[in-house]
Amino acid sequence: MKVNAGIITPKLKESKDFYANVLKYSVAFENEFYILMHAPDNTPAVAFLLPNHPTQQPVFQTAFQGTGMFFTIEVTDVDAEFKRIKSLGVPIAIELRDEPWGDRHFAVVDPNGVGIDIVTYKAP
């Protein structure tokens, strides 16, 4: 079983640009109202859907309101990712830090308001 997270948003272009340019995702499928993007390891990861599209049922109509959701992206070298993403001028929501439970991480926010925690796990 695989999970794709989907965000209903009017910000298709901004979302595609952010995930491609900042997180190195690639487009697996795209049409005028839907984009499916793969993570760098080619696993399906996130989709974006225009709100109120006539092809979609009511449960897939309402746009995400920008709160109450986050993604965690595990990377091999969080320090290198922090440096790379910061060099792109992306605002950092949580500066690079170590947590007592073992995470070394930082966070950014996508164009839809989704917090993205970028982490390397270490033993506490």
In this structure, what CATH number is given to the domain that contains residue 78?
3.30.720.110
pLDDT at residue 29, as a whole number: 95
pLDDT score for 41: 87
pLDDT digits (tens, 9 = 90+) for 32-91: 999 999 998 887 689 999 999 999 999 999 999 999 999 999 999 999 999 999 999 999
User: Is the domain of 8 the same as that of 47?
Assistant: yes
Please report how many Cα atoms fall inside a 13 Å half-sphere around the Cα of residue 80, on the Cβ side: 5
Q: Is there a single domain that holds both residue 42 and residue 8?
A: yes
- Mean of the per-residue pLDDT values of the chain: 94
Strand-pairing partners, residue 43, are none
In DSSP terms, which residues pair with 27 in a beta bridge?
Answer: 37
Task: Using the predicted structure, report yes or no on whether residue 2 has a pLDDT greater than 90.
Answer: no
pLDDT value, residue 3? 81
CATH code of the domain in which 11 resides? 3.30.720.120
Q: In which domain, by residue range, is 85 found?
A: 70-120
pLDDT at residue 112 tops 90:
yes
- The pLDDT of residue 4: 84
Q: What is the 8-class DSSP label of residue 59?
A: G
Quick one: average pLDDT of 112-120?
97
63 within domain boundaries: no
Q: Is residue 11 part of a domain?
A: yes
Q: What percent of the chain has pLDDT over 70?
A: 99
Q: What is the domain count for the chain?
A: 2
Is 26 a member of any domain? Answer: yes
pTM over 0.85? The answer is yes
If asked whether residues 47 and 79 sit together in one domain, one would say no
48 in Cβ contact with 12 (< 8 Å): yes
pLDDT at 122: 84
Whether residues 77 and 47 fall in one domain: no
Considering the domain architecture, whether residues 39 and 77 belong to the same structural domain is answered as: no
